[in-house]
Amino acid sequence: MITSTAWRGKRYAVLGLARSGLATVRALAAAGADVVAWDSNEKARDALSPSLRLRGEGRGEEGVDGASHVPLSPQAEREIVLADPVEIDLSGFAGVAVSPGVPLNTHPIAAKAAAAGVPIIGDIELFAEGRAEMPAHRVVGITGTNGKSTTTALIHHIVEAAGIPARLGGNIGLPILGQDPLPEGGVYVLELSSYQIDLTHSLDCDVAVLLNVTPDHLDRYANFDAYAASKARLFAMQRPGHAAVIGIGDAPSAGIAAQVAATGRGADLTRIAPGACLDQSRWPALQGPHNAQNALAAIAACKALGIPRDAIDRGLESFPGLPHRMERVATKRGVLFVNDSKATNADSAAPALSAYPKVHWILGGKAKTNDLDACRPGFPHVVKAYTIGEAGEMFARLLEGEMPVERSGTLAAAVRSAAAQAQPGETVLLSPACASFDQFKDYEARGQAFRDAVEALG
């Protein structure tokens, strides 16, 4: 795991004990920090130690009521105290490390930490603090509303294919603190959500990439400008001479590029313009205009790392793609079935509609917006729409008059109906333009249900 001697002897609170939170607790404890850990979910608390039996009894460290000492592992130098950081005195703490899923605009920990003068941080900030003690390396950070998972995985794949040690982390793959440090010359490739950027103040990326900024996560920000400003911070943390790659297909991203250039960093900046003409025929996992932009951003980032163009080309050709992102599931009776369950808003669904000439479009779920305007350029490609989930009726009303619409209700019913009506050469596409939480645990469960429904067709 990645640790730092700078944490030794300091006190930290960790709020949220999913994968990144557990990795944070382990890294801090292994470094000799005193850790208070908490999650509102009892099962998540139990994951700290299978041997925990007396949770909530007695008094914890320094008299914290209801706290329990938990020996995290034989390697940990300190005990872990289970206590809600909102309920204890945070005076003297070095930081409160929160999960990116904790809504700081509404959660009381924000005011509690501010009153104590304690910074709120995340695992990415702890990674940044630990970099000085790691073998010489470089970091590529990728953000954007849409496309960042594919672009992050693509850059990582190209770097590894070029023979350079690499780690994938951040909002994708394994928690970065839980991974072993790379040998000298390695590259850490980090997908960074706006939430993760909010929780770091010292991550100086050798290459920072912004793909786009469109409305999303507005329940966490005062307004859209605040959301865009969060993305812009990735570049504000960079030192001069470090590379910036920015897509300028939307006004906020173009504005961020102008801000970077205005700081005198024009020579470090690569702008990725929309509509570039590329031969994508040799890249089976990178189809559609949006993937042309993702590929251009990855090419620019890898060039900034000094990777030769022939090695970049080999990586583009061999990239396998990611599950649930325009994933080719099967071809049955000449009909292609594509799982794009990761498309959880209209902007991220639009590219898949444009990538296939004749589409039977399955959409719906828990809507993030009440329109599908971003998808309109792809409407001429749609043979028929099949609406599902909570947003099904709203989307059906929006699309009627634009295309034939069927109110399918469930994903399984939509797959059966679309498969029965699609002709050879056409595509049945799950690209929901919605979150999944009305009918599924997450977008991955929804994508797996689509795979299962396709397999059940026989």
Q: How many CB atoms lie within 10 A of CB 137?
A: 18
Catalytic one among 10, 217, 332, 366? 217
DSSP 374-424: GGGGGGGGEEEEEEESTTHHHHHHHHBTTB-EEEEESHHHHHHHHHHHPPT
DSSP class per residue in 99-112: -TTS-TTT-THHHH
Classified as helix, coil or strand, 11 is strand
Which amino acid makes up residue 440?
F
Asked if 359 and 383 touch (Cβ cutoff 8 Å), the reply is yes
Residue 148 annotated among the catalytic residues of the structure: yes
Contacts by 375-383, CB closer than 8 A, 24 or more apart: 375/346, 375/349, 375/350, 375/433, 377/350, 377/353, 378/350, 378/352, 378/353, 378/354, 379/353, 379/403, 381/353, 381/354, 381/356, 381/357, 382/353, 383/358, 383/359, 383/421, 383/422, 383/426
Contact assessment for residue 345 and residue 369, using Cβ atoms and an 8 Å cutoff: yes
Distance CA 379, CA 19 (A): 39
- Which residue out of 112, 148, 342, 381 is catalytically annotated? 148
Beta pairing, strands 382-388 & 359-364: parallel
**Residue 332 a catalytic site member:** no
Identity of residue 253: S
Do 393 and 331 form a contact (C-beta atoms < 8 A)? no
149: how many CB neighbours lie within 10 A of its CB?
Answer: 21
**Residue of 76, 67, 114, 83 whose CA lies nearest to 13:** 83
Active site residue 217: yes
Cβ-contact 272, 297 below 8 angstroms: yes
Q: Say which of 112, 146, 156, 171 is annotated catalytic.
A: 171
Positions marked catalytic = 148, 171, 217
